[in-house]
């Protein structure tokens, strides 16, 4: 199941500004895309991003299919009962329970460091990418550049594109490895580049923050995100309890947040 994270946020996004009047006049017109990329490169250089990282934009092409997915998205309108019944399938629950036990030692260390219990982290892992099985196959730089070129949320996606270049510069991911969801989310729990920069951690100590290929980095980074947004160690996560509001910082949709909470509770019951 491809990530549904951020759908509510994206649907409410406001259109921003383009980098120049020229790009503003031609946004959505593929003929202006090369000039737009040139402007992005200039802006990246002005912000101190290295030339090596900026070179990751060489050859990035406009993607009509990405734009079609963005314009065609529909915020889910299912009830909690409908959505959770589909998302918390018996097979997903069994798989999540198995992974809780497989990663028990690591999840215990993650909880000690960040205060977030394993069932919550594994619930997000399962709902976002089916435990890493489907984190998306879109070229991230192409997706972000296309969305940044569009007139609807230009400022937002320009900022995410620049942060993606910073990930390259920092050495977390090679450009070719940056593949994820159509809106630019990366990794096994689907971080936008800005969140990747802020909250990704190198939990296995190999010198890189790899949320795509390394489950331990992905799980610990998810816990770090939740802690940074106010997670209270030892407090509950169901609706009405202190940590439910933190889950909604992950995804503002109440139906989604309630599904995360319900899934985590079901997983905890299997321990």
Could you tell me the residue ranges of all domains in the chain?
1-271
pLDDT tens for each residue of 217-242 = 999 999 999 999 999 999 999 999 99
Q: Which CATH architecture does the domain made up of 1-271 adopt?
A: Orthogonal Bundle (1.10)
Q: Is the pLDDT of residue 141 over 90?
A: yes
- Whole-number pLDDT of residue 222: 98
**Binning pLDDT at 50, 70 and 90, where does residue 112 land?**
very high
- Whole-number pLDDT of residue 153: 84
Token output for 204 = 């296995």
54-58, 61-65, 198-202, 261-265: which range is least confident on average?
61-65
67-81, 145-159, 176-190: which range is least confident on average?
67-81
- Whole-number pLDDT of residue 67: 86
Q: Is the pLDDT of residue 86 over 80?
A: yes
Beta bridge partners of 180: 138
- Whole-number pLDDT of residue 74: 63
Residue 254 known to be catalytic: no
- List 128, 138, 160, 185, catalytic entry: 128
**Binning pLDDT at 50, 70 and 90, where does residue 50 land?**
very high
| Average pLDDT over every residue of 36-55 | 96
Q: Is the pLDDT of residue 146 over 50?
A: yes
Classify 262 as helix, strand or coil: helix
Classify 229 as helix, strand or coil: coil
Q: Is the pLDDT of residue 3 over 70?
A: no
Q: Is the pLDDT of residue 27 over 70?
A: no
Measured CA to CA in angstroms, residue 253 lies from 4, 99, 245 at distances of: 10, 26, 11
Q: Cα–Cα distance between 56 and 22 in angstroms, integer?
A: 23
Instruction: Please compute Rg for the chain using Cα positions.
Output: 19
Q: Burial level of 155, CB count in 10 A (0-12/13-18/19+)?
A: middle
Region for 230 from its dihedrals, namely left if φ exceeds 0, alpha if ψ lies in -120 to 50, beta otherwise: left
């Amino acid at each position: 199941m491809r990530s549904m994270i951020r759908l509510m946020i994206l649907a409410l996004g406001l259109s921003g500004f383009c980098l120049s009047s020229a790009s503003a006049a031609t946004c959505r017109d593929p003929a202006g895309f090369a000039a737009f990329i040139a402007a992005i490169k200039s802006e990246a250089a002005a912000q101190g991003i290295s030339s090596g990282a900026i070179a990751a934009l060489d050859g990035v092409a406009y993607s009509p299919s990405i734009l079609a997915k963005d314009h065609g998205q529909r915020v889910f309108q299912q009830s909690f009962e409908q959505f959770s019944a589909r998302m918390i399938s018996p097979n997903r629950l069994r798989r999540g329970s198995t992974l809780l036990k497989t990663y028990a030692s690591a999840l215990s260390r993650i909880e000690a460091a960040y205060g977030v219990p394993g069932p919550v982290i594994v619930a997000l892992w399962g709902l976002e990418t089916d435990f890493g099985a489907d984190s998306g196959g879109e070229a991230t730089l192409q997706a972000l550049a296309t969305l940044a070129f569009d007139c609807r949320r230009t400022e937002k996606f320009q900022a995410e594109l620049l942060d993606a270049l910073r990930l390259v510069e920092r050495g977390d991911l090679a450009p070719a490895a940056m593949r994820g969801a159509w809106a630019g989310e990366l990794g096994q729990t689907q971080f936008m580049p800005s969140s990747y920069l802020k909250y990704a951690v190198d939990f296995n100590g190999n010198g890189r923050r790899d949320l795509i290929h390394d489950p331990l980095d992905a799980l610990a980074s998810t816990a770090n995100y939740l802690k940074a947004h106010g997670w209270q160690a030892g407090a509950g996560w169901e609706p009405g309890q202190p940590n439910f509001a933190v889950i909604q910082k992950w995804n503002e949709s109440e139906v989604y947040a309630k599904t995360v909470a319900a899934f985590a509770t079901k997983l905890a019951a299997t321990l």
